């Protein structure tokens, strides 16, 4: 059979990091082992029942059996604007400052195709979500890494970025609460980001996937709360994490009208928007989901406390996460991120994500997903303890 050659754009794509993790876990499970999978970012809890019921009801509406409006239903865009006003006191124009996305991952890949030309430079966090690089590769852009280190609370230090790189960069990706480090951003940092972006004409894309999940009574800040943020950037928000709707593939971008217009133009050629009943369910989630968000954060905070307490008991010391549903833990001496993760899977049947999969500065850490019951998180620590590594 004739084998057709992939395009240059496909050949530029990096390996799909998470797909490889799934394969490793699947192989171990296929051998009959009980694997505690803490390596992925896939929420383990069900979607709240009121959202499911909204979908069930809406799916019977014949209006939604036809093609949806290309750029989404106005009722969902309005509920997004209402949500931002209620949660962050940010004014959003639903007609010009909101784009509906097929999940945040899609939007984060698309944005590079919207704004970059071949060889354009992009500032990316290191470590960071691997799919930022996927979009950059498809567009033929060049990533410039901004190291996130513990000394700077896992925030980029713009003084360490070459001024020529700042001048050359067209785009900058940020993500707080952060995946994988679980750090959160301050008002001062976001204010400084707006200032630098204006100075160097950079479009900022803030990935706010974990925006609902902050601990110890601290609510994560929206980038758009900083004055002037909409002048130079957008924020990408997903319902996957906030409402356990990962499989529903619904998210949105809010902010700068020209960037929103670019996203909608590209999507006009890719899609005919999301199934209307899913948009209706998303509308219900945003309008009536406050209690669901509160309960979810409470669950993750209890899991965080259980895991960190037990990890410390076995001598594995890492900082308690400030947000997200991840813990960023150091690897013991004598191991790389990859060799430590492989050891845990082979000997303890616990899957974690090696930090170097998120970028060079992730070396020396593993990412733990707090995506199982407290009892299973403790059992994972017990299994790791038996390896006598700490």
231 and 337 part of one domain: no
| Region 77-90 average pLDDT | 98
Does the pLDDT of residue 233 top 90, yes or no? yes
β-pair partners for 354: 366
Confidence of residue 260 (pLDDT cuts 50, 70, 90): very high
Half-sphere exposure for 136 (CA within 13 Å, toward CB): 23
The tokens for 335 are: 């191991």
Does the pLDDT of residue 42 top 90, yes or no? no
Confidence of residue 26 (pLDDT cuts 50, 70, 90): confident
The pLDDT assigned to 341 comes to 95
225 and 87 part of one domain: yes
The pLDDT assigned to 216 comes to 95
Confidence of residue 41 (pLDDT cuts 50, 70, 90): confident
Does the pLDDT of residue 381 top 90, yes or no? yes
The pLDDT assigned to 279 comes to 98
Does the pLDDT of residue 14 top 80, yes or no? yes
pLDDT tens digits along 296-351: 999 999 999 999 999 999 999 999 999 999 999 999 999 999 999 999 999 999 99
193 and 304 part of one domain: no
57 assigned to some structural domain: no
The pLDDT assigned to 23 comes to 83
Domain count, the chain: 2
363 and 352 part of one domain: yes
The pLDDT assigned to 219 comes to 96
Alpha helices in 74-186 (DSSP H): 74-88, 104-115, 131-139, 163-168
Does the pLDDT of residue 72 top 80, yes or no? yes
Domain boundary among 288, 316, 349: 288
pLDDT tens digits along 107-160: 999 999 999 999 999 999 999 999 999 999 999 999 999 999 999 999 999 999
The pLDDT assigned to 21 comes to 78
54 assigned to some structural domain: no
Dihedral angle sign, alpha carbons of residues 169, 173, 174, 178: negative
pLDDT tens digits along 357-367: 999 999 999 99
Domain boundary among 254, 272, 288: 288
169 and 271 part of one domain: yes
Does the pLDDT of residue 282 top 80, yes or no? yes
187 and 211 part of one domain: yes
**Burial state string for 81-95 with b = 16 or more CB within 10 A and e = fewer than 16:** bebbeebbebebebe
Does the pLDDT of residue 18 top 90, yes or no? no
Mean pLDDT of the chain: 95
The pLDDT assigned to 22 comes to 79
DSSP 168-196: HEEEEEEESS-TTT-----HHHHHHHHHH
109 and 252 part of one domain: yes
Confidence of residue 32 (pLDDT cuts 50, 70, 90): confident
103 and 143 part of one domain: yes
Q: Which domain holds residue 241?
A: 66-288
Confidence of residue 16 (pLDDT cuts 50, 70, 90): confident
Domain boundary among 233, 259, 288: 288
The pLDDT assigned to 217 comes to 93
Rounded to whole angstroms, the Cα distance separating 198 from 166 reads: 11
Residue 147 sits at φ, ψ, to 5 deg, of -65, 135
Of residues 24 and 139, which shows the higher confidence score? 139
Q: Kindly list the distances between the CA atom of residue 8 and the CA atoms of 15, 142, 276, in Å, as whole numbers in the listed order.
A: 15, 15, 36
The pLDDT assigned to 25 comes to 80
Confidence of residue 30 (pLDDT cuts 50, 70, 90): confident
The pLDDT assigned to 251 comes to 98
Mapped onto helix, strand or coil, the DSSP state of residue 101 is: strand
């Amino acid at each position: 059979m004739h084998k057709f050659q992939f395009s240059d754009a496909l050949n530029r794509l990096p390996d799909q990091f998470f797909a490889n993790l799934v394969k490793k876990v699947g192989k171990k499970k296929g051998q009959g082992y009980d694997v505690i999978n803490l390596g992925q970012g896939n929420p383990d809890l069900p979607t709240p029942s009121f959202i499911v019921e909204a979908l069930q009801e809406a799916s019977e509406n014949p209006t939604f059996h036809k093609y949806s409006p290309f750029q989404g239903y106005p009722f969902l865009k309005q509920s997004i604007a209402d949500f931002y006003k209620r949660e962050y006191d940010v004014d959003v124009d639903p007609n010009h400052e909101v784009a509906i996305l097929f999940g945040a991952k899609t939007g984060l890949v698309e944005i590079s195709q919207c704004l970059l030309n071949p060889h354009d430079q992009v500032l990316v966090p290191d470590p960071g979500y691997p799919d930022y690089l996927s979009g950059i590769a498809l567009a033929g852009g060049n990533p410039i890494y901004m190291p996130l280190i513990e000394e700077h609370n896992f925030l980029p230090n713009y003084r360490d970025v070459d001024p020529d790189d700042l001048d050359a960069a067209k785009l900058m990706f940020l993500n707080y609460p952060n995946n994988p480090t679980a750090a959160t951003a301050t008002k001062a940092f976001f204010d400084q980001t707006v200032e630098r972006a204006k100075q160097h004409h950079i479009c900022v894309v803030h990935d706010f996937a974990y925006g609902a999940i902050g601990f110890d009574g601290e609510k994560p800040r929206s980038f758009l709360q900083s004055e002037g943020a909409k002048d130079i950037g957008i924020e990408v928000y997903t319902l996957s994490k906030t409402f356990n709707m990962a499989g529903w593939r619904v998210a949105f971008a809010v902010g700068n009208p020209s960037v929103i217009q670019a996203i909608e133009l590209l999507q006009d050629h890719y899609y005919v928007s999301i199934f209307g009943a899913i948009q209706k369910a998303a509308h219900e989630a945003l309008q009536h989901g406050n209690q669901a968000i509160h309960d979810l954060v409470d669950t993750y905070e209890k899991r965080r406390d259980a895991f960190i307490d037990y990890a410390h008991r076995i001598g594995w010391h890492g900082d308690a996460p400030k947000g997200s549903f991840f813990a960023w833990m150091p690897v013991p001496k004598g191991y790389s991120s990859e060799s430590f993760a492989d050891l845990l899977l082979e000997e303890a049947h616990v899957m974690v994500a090696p930090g170097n999969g998120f970028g060079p500065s992730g070396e020396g850490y593993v990412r733990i997903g707090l995506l199982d019951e407290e009892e299973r998180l403790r059992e994972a620590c017990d299994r790791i303890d038996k390896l006598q590594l700490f």
